[in-house]
């Protein structure tokens, strides 16, 4: 297959999930990383809490591990489960699994009005902060040596 001139390739911007795009981009990036490093260890990492009766997901953590680093993407617990110690248990399980996979460090960002204090209380260290909307808010970047 011959590609057309670069200036004629269409560019699409979307707000819709696209599993094919995720697959193509993920496998392309994995191949590039493997060529540069000699290995490919990129894996999703989820730590979930489910209702014992219905098995519906109540909350948890999503992220990934790659090249010795764990990336925490999303962490949510409904209000009724906060303050019970469950958040600490989920975070510990995420960190433990990352260590088991050979990760030496972890990174995340949270919003200033969300949970930076929670992460700091559990050994995460703030390494950056960038203002965002609404006024007075910021994205707080944290890391932890595992």
Q: For residues 64-84, b (16+ Cβ closer than 10 Å) or e, as one string?
A: bbbeeebbbeebbbeeeeeee
Quote the percentage of the chain above a pLDDT of 70: 96
Q: What is the CA radius of gyration of the chain?
A: 19
Out of 23-32, 53-62, 89-98, pick the least confident.
23-32
Domains and CATH numbers, the chain: 41-145 (3.40.630.30)
pLDDT tens by residue, 72-119: 999 999 999 999 999 999 999 999 999 999 999 999 999 999 999 999
Q: For 36, list phi and psi in degrees, rounded to 5.
A: -80, -35
């Amino acid at each position: 297959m011959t590609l057309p001139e670069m200036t004629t390739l269409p560019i699409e911007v979307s707000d819709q999930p696209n599993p094919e795009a995720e697959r193509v981009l993920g496998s392309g990036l994995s191949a590039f990383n493997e060529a540069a490093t000699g290995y490919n260890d990129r894996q999703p990492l989820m730590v979930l809490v489910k209702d014992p009766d219905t098995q519906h997901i109540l909350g948890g953590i999503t992220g990934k591990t790659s090249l010795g680093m764990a990336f925490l993407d999303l962490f949510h617990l409904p209000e009724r489960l906060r303050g019970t110690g469950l958040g600490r248990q989920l975070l510990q399980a995420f960190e433990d699994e990352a260590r088991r996979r050979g990760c030496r460090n972890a990174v995340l960002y949270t919003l200033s009005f969300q949970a930076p204090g929670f992460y700091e209380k559990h050994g995460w260290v703030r390494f950056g902060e960038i203002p965002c909307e609404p006024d007075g808010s910021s994205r707080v970047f944290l890391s932890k040596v595992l």
